[in-house]
Structure 1
Amino acid sequence: MDIPTYRKEKGLSQAAFAALLTASGTPATQGLVSQWEKGTTSIKAERAIQIDLATEGAVSRFELLPAVFGPMPVRTDRQALAASVDSRKSKRALRSKFGFKTDAHLAKVLKLPAAEVEGWPEEQSVPALPQVMRLLGVQETPPAAEAAPTDPDADRIINVEAA
């Protein structure tokens, strides 16, 4: 889905869509959204990822920039996508997948200090940080709440009167 269709379905103005992006940590203006829709300004890879995350996949990075991200995955179900994602990517492969030229670009999208990202080895798998998992499309599943322990003898207890 493109941005104008998403806005129309959600009843958002360009300013409201910009506010949605800003609220998710990506400063944007109504003018920038207008330029994207008119095609006078192209959407960069970092912005496409941020739009994808802010709209929870409704405006997909794959549809916004198919030349960068490739075709839309056949299975759009987030759980199926999470199962197919290899979270053991190297830093070099991760930069290549998203079209980033430097570690600074990757750090900016992950909202991590550039020095931390630069410290990751090039050919080893990146840490499984929540930011990295979100970037790869893996949804975090909250830990299941432990059930309260049950007393197996609860139905056999009777009241006893003490003298």
Structure 2
Amino acid sequence: MDKPTDSQIIDRLGGTTEVARICQIKPPSVSEWRVAGIPSARRQYLELLRPDAFGHLPAAKAHAIGVLVDSRMSKRALRARLGLSTDAHLAKVLQLPVEQVAAWPEEQGVPGLPQVLKILGVQPEQPAAEAAQNDPDAERVIQVQVA
């Protein structure tokens, strides 16, 4: 595990503007953190969201966790993993309406939403682009020689 500087952490989180958006503050405040240090309460919040940016969770392990989230992790387990006690806290962290998160069954798998994967540091895989022209009979066409 490495011990990144506050500036490196901000870069790993997506840069000054992204950290400002996450914390719902203005970018100049985050710029000050690069020199003065990330305030303790903000550091705890960001570390909860993205432990990999702080060197606590390797990216490969974050990906493995993300794969498990969409298929097997319950809402209760996700809250426990993130250290949250209520659906309101989970909704705030995921930036979703409280009603939506509250509607998820407590012991069934949570949806593999981009917000859930992002919070665990996993980038969702992009679907492969389909060919522009897809001829269903392309394999059945043969060359015919005419005399």
Give me the TM-score of the superposition, normalised by structure 1.
Answer: 0.59
Q: What is the RMSD computed on CA atoms of the aligned residues?
A: 3.6
For 1:106-117, what aligned pairs fall within 5 Å after superposition? 106-117=90-101
**Following TM superposition, by how much is the alpha carbon of 1:34 offset from its aligned partner in structure 2, in angstroms?**
3.0
- The residue that corresponds to 1:72 in the other structure is 57
- The residue that corresponds to 1:123 in the other structure is 107
Which is bigger in relative contact order (C-alpha 8 A, separation at least 6)? 2
Structure 1 residues 47 and 37, CA gap change in structure 2 (3 angstroms): farther
Q: Answer with 104-113 or 126-135: which moved more.
A: 126-135
- The residue that corresponds to 1:5 in the other structure is 8
**Following TM superposition, by how much is the alpha carbon of 1:137 offset from its aligned partner in structure 2, in angstroms?**
3.4
Report the identity percentage. Answer: 34
For 1:32-43, what aligned pairs fall within 5 Å after superposition? 32=30, 34=32, 38-39=36-37, 41-42=39-40, 43=42
For 1:30-109, what aligned pairs fall within 5 Å after superposition? 30-32=28-30, 34=32, 38-39=36-37, 41-42=39-40, 43-48=42-47, 52=50, 60=53, 62-63=54-55, 71-73=56-58, 76-77=59-60, 81-85=62-66, 86-87=68-69, 88-109=72-93
Instruction: Give the partner amino acid of 1:47.
Output: L
Structure 1 residues 72 and 27, CA gap change in structure 2 (3 angstroms): same
Instruction: Judge conservation of contact 1:18–1:28 (CA < 8 Å) in 2.
Output: no
Give me the TM-score of the superposition, normalised by structure 2.
Answer: 0.64
Instruction: Give the partner amino acid of 1:82.
Output: H
Instruction: Give the partner amino acid of 2:47.
Output: A
Structure 1 residues 144 and 95, CA gap change in structure 2 (3 angstroms): same
Q: As a proportion of its length, which structure holds more helix?
A: 2
For 1:17-36, what aligned pairs fall within 5 Å after superposition? 17-22=15-20, 26-29=23-26, 30-32=28-30, 34=32
Deviations 1:35-94 (A, max 9, x none): 5863572125443356x49xxx6xx1x43xxxxxxx433xx34xx642354212111211
Structure 1: 5+ residue runs without aligned partners?
11-16, 64-70
